[in-house]
């Protein structure tokens, strides 16, 4: 049955897929939340309290992402090959705000937590590319008003982006892959239960160690993403062409 052989695939990725590219995760012992309190830099209240501090936090991460030595790794590249060669649709839903999926060549990507290289104006709502340091006194490129610019990033307590499109993808998929996420933050951490509820979707976790949600996955493979993701994609594509 063609459909069973090449169902549509939803791939959820987290900070772990970018770790071997040199970007920090959040909850590893050397992670970002071990160094700074998320309440201070990743909440609307934190931004209200001290916008300068929040801008400095994201400016530092933006400069880090734009550094010459930061580039997509073999796991990102394997997902491009999957998108290019899989007979069904492949949708990447990433929690990451880096652009490594796109730089590797992935086209069908949803950034549910926003993008570090975009800024949003609190006054007019315009969103534009941003590869420069943000500051409160900078005027919006659209309405020219100063004082309202913020990173186009979803903070704790805010609604992730494109949830309707994500749930439609989960509803239609026959295979759900979760890569490099600790399964700590909802709604992303609940996607596996969402698809499990449908019964007909295969679920697999690819991570360096078991995540919080490990028991919800039918299959688990553990190891560095740059090793287990290319190996798994190779296996999938071999099965699809058999």
Least distance in angstroms from the C-beta of 180 to ligand APR: 4
String of contacts with ligand APR for each residue 28-67, x by CB under 6 A: x--x------------------------------------
String of contacts with ligand APR for each residue 107-126, x by CB under 6 A: ------x-------------
Q: CA-CA distance, 39 to 36, in Å (whole number)? A: 9
Is 225 an interacting residue with respect to ligand APR (CB under 6 A)? Answer: yes
CA 195: distance to chain centroid? Answer: 18
Token output for 95: 């929690």
Would you call 113 a catalytic residue per the annotation?
yes
Is 220 an interacting residue with respect to ligand APR (CB under 6 A)? Answer: no
Site for ligand APR in 119-178 (CB under 6 A): none
Helix/strand/coil for 109: strand
Say if CB 99 and CB 106 are below 8 A apart.
no
Pick from 178, 181, 201, 203 the residue near ligand APR by CB under 6 A: 181
Is 211 an interacting residue with respect to ligand APR (CB under 6 A)? Answer: yes
For ligand APR, the closer CB: 18 or 201: 18
For ligand APR, the closer CB: 9 or 74: 74
Is 180 an interacting residue with respect to ligand APR (CB under 6 A)? Answer: yes
Q: Which residues of 110-149 are buried (b: 16+ CB within 10 A; e: fewer)?
A: bbbbbbbbbbbbebeeeeeebeeebeeebebeeeeeeebb
The side-by-side arrangement of strands in the sheet containing 149-153 is: 127-129, 114-121, 149-153
β-strand 149-153 against 114-121: which pairing, if any? antiparallel
Helix/strand/coil for 205: strand
> What residue ranges bind ligand APR (CB under 6 A)?
14-16, 19-20, 25-28, 31, 95, 113, 180-182, 184-185, 207-209, 211, 224-225
Catalytic residues: 113
């Amino acid at each position: 049955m063609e459909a069973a052989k090449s169902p549509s695939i939803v791939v959820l990725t987290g900070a772990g897929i970018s770790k071997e590219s040199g970007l920090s995760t959040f909850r590893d012992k050397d992670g970002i939340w071990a160094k700074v309190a998320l309440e201070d830099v990743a909440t609307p209240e934190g931004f209200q309290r001290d916008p300068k501090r929040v801008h400095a936090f994201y400016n530092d991460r933006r400069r880090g992402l734009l550094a010459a030595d930061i580039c997509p790794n073999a796991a990102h590249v394997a997902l491009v090959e999957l998108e290019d060669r899989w007979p069904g649709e492949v949708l990447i839903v990433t929690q990451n705000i880096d652009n490594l999926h796109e730089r590797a060549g992935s086209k069908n990507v949803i950034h549910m937590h926003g993008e570090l290289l975009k800024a949003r104006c609190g006054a007019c709502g315009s969103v534009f590319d941003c590869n420069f340091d943000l500051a409160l006194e900078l005027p919006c490129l659209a309405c020219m008003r100063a004082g309202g610019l913020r990173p186009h990033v979803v903070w704790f307590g805010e609604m992730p982006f494109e949830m309707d499109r994500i749930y439609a993808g989960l509803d239609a998929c026959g295979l759900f892959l979760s890569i490099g996420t600790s399964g700590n933050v909802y709604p992303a951490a609940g996607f596996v239960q969402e698809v499990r509820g449908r019964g007909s979707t295969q679920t697999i976790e690819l991570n360096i160690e078991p995540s919080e949600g490990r028991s919800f996955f039918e299959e688990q493979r553990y190891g560095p993403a740059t090793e287990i993701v290319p190996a798994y994609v190779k296996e999938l594509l071999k099965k699809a062409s058999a």
